Amino acid sequence: MTPPDFVVIDVETACSRTSSICQIGIVGYAAGVEVLAYETLVDPCDDFSSFNIAIHGITADHVLGKPTFAALHPELAAHLGGRVTVAHSGFDKGALGRACERDALPPIAARWLDSVTIARRAWPELPNHKLNTLATFLELEHRHHDALSDARAAGQVVLRAMAQTGLSLTDWFTPPLSARARRKVMRADQA
């Protein structure tokens, strides 16, 4: 397998506790091409709320006999550890952190990017930067609140934003210049 330039993760949770991960999707991209697709249901070792079930459709019956987060931790660390890892908002990063804390596991060390922040810089004119809004705008095939589909869509947001702006993957780690700093650079260029 070609090592990915970046990976994207999305999780679904069983209830309001962010540590209650019940589905994980990971997609990896190298040179703009998908080179990794990983998904699994997870026994969250927690209750399922009707609110969350209504969002993603995953029930306790679906995860019966599936691995726990603790059992999956080494595989997740192998996919994400040491890589540029994208999530659409801070929710997924936070959920991984909470699940690691709950199970007394080491945090997964990754270099995180937020595809919401990327989308805001690339398409500031959009009314919002929710994943389903971006998928419609970018005409992506997308099944909202399915972890693998959400990860794939967030990855496409990053790739399309790179194409739109001309920024490289590493450029997204540098915050944009403030309006004041942009004016100063423009004045210096005109001098």
Write out the DSSP string of 131-178.
HHHHHHHTT----TT-HHHHHHHHHHHHHHHHHHH---TGGGGSPPPP
CB-side exposure of 107: number of CA atoms within 13 Å?
9
Helix (H, G, I), strand (E, B) or coil at 28: strand
**Average pLDDT of the chain?**
94
pTM: 0.91
Distance between CA 67 and CA 76 in Å, rounded? 12
State the pLDDT at residue 175: 84
Give me 136's structure tokens. Answer: 């419609």
Comparing 8 with 182, which gets the higher pLDDT? 8
Dump strand ranges (E) for the chain: 6-13, 21-30, 33-41, 84-87, 111-114
Residues 82-109 pLDDT 10s: 999 999 999 999 999 999 999 999 999 9
Average pLDDT over residues 128-157: 97
CATH number belonging to domain 6-190: 3.30.420.10
Angle in degrees, CA 11, 117, 37, rounded to 5 = 35
> For the chain, what percentages of helix, strand and coil (3-state, to nearest 5) are there?
45, 20, 35
Edge-to-edge strand ranges of the sheet holding 33-41:
33-41, 21-30, 6-13, 84-87, 111-114
For residue 164, is pLDDT > 70? yes
Return the DSSP state at 46.
S
Pick the range with the lowest mean pLDDT from 11-20, 32-41, 101-110, 167-176.
Answer: 167-176
For residue 140, is pLDDT > 80? yes
Residues 42-83 pLDDT 10s: 999 999 999 999 999 999 999 999 999 999 999 999 999 999
68 contacts 45 by C-beta, under 8 angstroms: yes
Residues 106-130 pLDDT 10s: 999 999 999 999 999 999 999 999 9
